[in-house]
Structure 1
């Protein structure tokens, strides 16, 4: 070991001795060092040997246990670098809340897939009443983005909020906002999706879009009068995979009626999302048909 006035050599443990104390492997300690989660207290400049302090044992064990939770490295760093134990506990609670929400969604998806694989799809689709509606021509201001499923809920709220704000300069909102899907949006496929708000004044809408520039791919267009096949769903059913079943129920109805698709499918949000309860109708899952 080289001379280093800032290091108390008597307080240092070799990587092997520290690994035994922390109940970890030397390989794991080297990994934690490489990831920036647990650096050695001292590295010999000549030999490259790593040395640790006994006081680092608790942090080493904490990192190892957090890794067992499949926690991303960035989240682990947030916890081990927290200013105090209370802050670290709060960060762990926030992470685990996210995990449980994801697991709940996966559990629901697994149940849905079991139903499909066991031939019970007709039971699931039978929960949705499909009807048709004629929608007149309308002017819409839009914002388009390539977005994955995990990013979709936040983007829908933000983009429709921006468009609703802009609609005040375009004669006001004339009908329910909607999101059109021009291609599949999933964990692997990013659409694109298009948020749309119908407005009253086409000329004012074109002027507003011109002022927005190209930052958010904002446009204005005139939608022709169309007929839609749709089913109405509750706030709880908007969650994945219930909403997938709603889309598939409408698709099955369209096929059974001998109709053809006439454009991209959409979600029409006609209710106040924040004020709605889980069982309140909030959205129409719709396909233009001919």
Structure 2
């Protein structure tokens, strides 16, 4: 034990305000060694200063109160290391997210420029296996992951190979306009095979698109959509049909990690596409 000090002195020594010290006392992570029965004044011990500094630093780094409480209440070195390591990983992920966001904001300082590699393409009729549903935009990521895996597994079971599978998606304009609408994922149908339960066989009709290839993952794809939409509306005639995407580069071990996404914006053509 060290010397007993008032809450005022302890606030100076720990760089924690009176309000913070009272809060940490109330939640049980930094309790005074003595409370005067008549005045209610709190007194701390100088040996608690390091304890207070640990709390202040981890709170500054965004660690939750329950995690700090668990960290300070255990003598298990492995458990402490796990708590700190988990928090550091969360900080690194947040830092990367911040860097990505800063990069995206810097791009917003300059106008959207339509890349030179936008092409107008006629997609022929295509027999597919498809899964569709109506959902909220907030549900798309989790639904997408489950559905892509289900389609790839179905193709592998039917053909024995899924290495060349390029999934695609169709997204109604309502998903963009109303944050709720119809979404479908599809894969080219294996020859001479019937789709399993829960998957529907369908023939996608021929259609014409303006196509832009967005490199990498989903990060920044909004800018690619903006560039493609700008080009389409300035140089072509935009069709209000569903947006189509093709997901390139997925593997059996990482079926939802793609090297590129083809964004296909439907356009009107004076020449009907050939069947």
Q: TM-score, normalised by structure 1?
A: 0.65
Residues 1:176 and 1:26: Cα distance change in structure 2 (over 3 Å):
same
Give the corresponding residue for 1:247: 225
Can you give the 5+ residue segments of structure 1 that lack an aligned partner in the other structure?
A: 1-7, 210-218
Give structure 2 stretches of 5+ with no counterpart: 269-275
1:38 corresponds in structure 2 to: 29
Distance 2:134 2:159 in 1: 22
Deviation at residue 251 of structure 1 after TM alignment = 0.9
Correspondence for 1:229: 210
For the aligned residue pairs, the C-alpha RMSD in angstroms reads 4.4
Cα deviations by residue, 1:31-83 (Å, 9 ceiling, x for unpaired): 3456x472526786977766655544333322322333355556656765674
How far is the alpha carbon of 1:284 from its aligned partner?
0.7
Report the counterpart of residue 29 of structure 1 in structure 2: 21
What is the CA–CA distance in structure 2 between the aligned matches of 1:272 and 1:40, rounded to whole Å? 54
Contact in 2 for aligned 1:229/1:254 (Cα 8 Å): yes
1:215-272 per-residue CA deviation (whole Å, 9 max, x = no partner) reads: xxxx64736313332112322xx3422x222111221222133322343324321223
Match of 1:67 in 2: 59
2:106 alignment partner in structure 1:
111
- Indicate if the aligned counterparts of 1:170 and 1:208 stay in contact, CA closer than 8 A: no
**2: CA distance, partners of 1:62 / 1:38:** 11
Question: Which protein has the larger Cα radius of gyration, Structure 1 or Structure 2?
Answer: 2
How big is the shift at 1:28?
A: 1.3
CA shift, 1:273, in A, is 5.7
Count residues with an aligned counterpart: 254
Contact 1:167 1:197 in 2 (8 A): no
TM (norm. structure 2) is 0.68
SS of alignment partner, residue 253 of structure 1: helix
